[in-house]
Structure 1
């Protein structure tokens, strides 16, 4: 084990959560595996090793949790995120049905209509706060309806989702403060988001219908609500705010997109590569395994640093530059393999529709004020105020 470089850097300080990229670059320079001694994690900071791990679930197991704190990992074993095939396959099959790419055609007209409405209103004011007024709008108006939660649950979804993500890190102050909200959500999922209280045509109801058919165990339904609430909210909200900030900082790229809308999918991929809303998950090795020439023992917990891999200079030339002609469809922000994000088609749809409407109406953005989100499991902006120059 002496071959493995060791770092005592804490990835969970406020400064590191706000801007981890210098730390990631330092890790990548040390080697393909770095032992993070504070939390006994073996971090993979480079692209090739992270991608290989994501596509090898048999060796890099999710069944013992994908977070940092051992107690949280133990509590979450068996949910969709923290399971392996065949159990994972059965849950994901049910969970992903309304999120398939072909099903997005059904929800696209509504998302487009709502995007028209909100963008026209905000641009007409000459400026707006991106996170609460733009980025939260589609997830909170459309996606909440699609999930089919009762009204008393919807108003707390953002608070619950942020708290759940805060449990992804170590047992620190942020995780402790999130505890009551996480418990409140789990109680709601078990008693408030159940048949008779949820929209019978919504995604949540479809979980219970699948359980009635014997496709998944009945007791999995409440915890599977996590999979609709957390990924459909914060990650998409952060991705939308991030891409607006990137275009504000790079007006030449905004001009390119306005002139050539075929660049839209590449712009989405490039923004997700450069600013990944979920910086990492972890896995546990099921056997002794060599990573990049470095031997690790079975039972080692390995941190897959998506956000670092997406800026690996070995894979992406000039990786710090925002370039919407790059076409980085192989980025790892959505993961890869068995645990690739089931909501990625919905996220892409929401991002694409909003960017297209903004490109029609906005000549340029100017950032007035910004504030990073400080969260153990997420990275992005908590506040982004912009002025806009209307298109002529």
Structure 2
């Protein structure tokens, strides 16, 4: 993608002006305007060169295609994520502004909420998905990972997306949620729909919404208390109604949040990790020699590939970002993936290094809205990579890797591989 650059004079109004904007003045830095479309197919195919254009253009840029401000450097992305009072989520974390248009579905009580409402509902999920709960799940998740790798070693050649990255989470997460066995094939399409809907009204979003009726109906039914097995995440959320922490109307929406947040990030994260380890055999060898690196190998894959590429916030007031003036009520697009490869923050960011200190990456977000399913994703990623390192000697890519395009997610549709037993 070729990006043309124009600069708005600090003494004149921006090239594109809209309600609530702050007029430039002599004290503000000029904001570069770009013709980049971060929701175009050619961008999805290879976003990294354009990420570099975005980072180099300035701390804040303006994307003329969608009339939004954007930040792509690590420092600014991290700052926006960690200032929910100035950059709110309640007006939508996609391009749609809920103050001006109706959401396509009832708002999330987690992702699309601000304190103090968010604080109360997030506290419920933090208890349901606590580190202590993850510890209780570890042995079962690890046994399932071992069984899955053993099964794939018998086949030797298979698709690492459908048969591993998707199949493994689908074998453990729905049971942990307490979902019924029937209809689980709706889970991935529903999650894909949610993340596509954060984008603009392009073909991806329109197609996803048009075919979403059965997926939405399935998820709505599964979120009801009577349909959730005792002891699962879903039942534990509904139990918080009895303690007065949430209302009966809020409980299904919280279950829904977990259904959409706890699967796709894990699927794309595991897919990214297998893809990285296959392309960097020296790192896989390093992992095989030191199993304690399994967790960090997964974290580095999330940093390197960034399964969640972008999110929006909306300004609640006139604000200055590194000297760049942004008015109240403006959408700000955060390029999480660009931040995760910003050389200002990471040494040799284009290299997958499983010994890298990954703390601080924004692959799961940052701050109070950090991915609610992160602990589940990290547990599944760690035990799967540990199983691979113990049982597999080499991972060979045996066909073309195909991308699955989504307005928010970056992942693979297909990755043919062959495993050699250890």
Bin the TM-score by the shorter chain: over 0.9
In the alignment, structure 1 segments of 5+ residues that lack a partner are none
1 CA distance for matches of 2:170 and 2:73? 35
Which structure's CA Rg is the greater one?
Answer: 2
State whether residues 266 and 329 of structure 1, in contact with CA within 8 Å, keep that contact through their aligned partners in structure 2: no
Shift of the alpha carbon at 1:220? 2.3
2 CA distance for matches of 1:165 and 1:364? 33
Partner of 1:249: 279
State whether residues 363 and 388 of structure 1, in contact with CA within 8 Å, keep that contact through their aligned partners in structure 2: yes
Shift of the alpha carbon at 1:126? 1.8
> In the TM superposition, what whole-angstrom CA distance separates every residue of 1:173-221 from its partner, at most 9, and x where no partner exists?
1111111444444434444531222213322222322234332232223
Partner of 2:166: 136
Distance 1:169 1:72, change over 3 A: farther
2 CA distance for matches of 1:174 and 1:56? 30
1 CA distance for matches of 2:217 and 2:311? 25
> In the TM superposition, what whole-angstrom CA distance separates every residue of 1:198-251 from its partner, at most 9, and x where no partner exists?
213322222322234332232223332332212221111111111111111111
In proportion to residue count, which structure has more helix?
1
State whether residues 186 and 223 of structure 1, in contact with CA within 8 Å, keep that contact through their aligned partners in structure 2: no
Shift of the alpha carbon at 1:309? 0.2
Confirm whether residue 386 of structure 1 aligns to residue 417 of structure 2.
Answer: yes
TM-score (norm 2): 0.88
State whether residues 4 and 294 of structure 1, in contact with CA within 8 Å, keep that contact through their aligned partners in structure 2: yes
1 CA distance for matches of 2:49 and 2:65? 18
> In the TM superposition, what whole-angstrom CA distance separates every residue of 1:93-116 from its partner, at most 9, and x where no partner exists?
112323111211111111111111
The answer to which of 210-219 and 48-57 deviates more is 210-219
**Secondary structure in 1 aligned to 2:263?**
helix
The answer to which of 199-208 and 315-324 deviates more is 199-208
Q: How many residues align?
A: 391
1 CA distance for matches of 2:384 and 2:324? 44
Confirm whether residue 215 of structure 1 aligns to residue 245 of structure 2.
Answer: yes
State whether residues 50 and 304 of structure 1, in contact with CA within 8 Å, keep that contact through their aligned partners in structure 2: yes
**Secondary structure in 2 aligned to 1:82?**
coil
2 CA distance for matches of 1:230 and 1:192? 12
**Secondary structure in 1 aligned to 2:138?**
helix
2 CA distance for matches of 1:182 and 1:100? 32
Q: State the Cα RMSD in Å.
A: 1.7
Out of 245, 258, 283, the residue aligned to residue 288 of structure 2 is 258
Confirm whether residue 360 of structure 1 aligns to residue 360 of structure 2.
Answer: no
State whether residues 194 and 205 of structure 1, in contact with CA within 8 Å, keep that contact through their aligned partners in structure 2: no
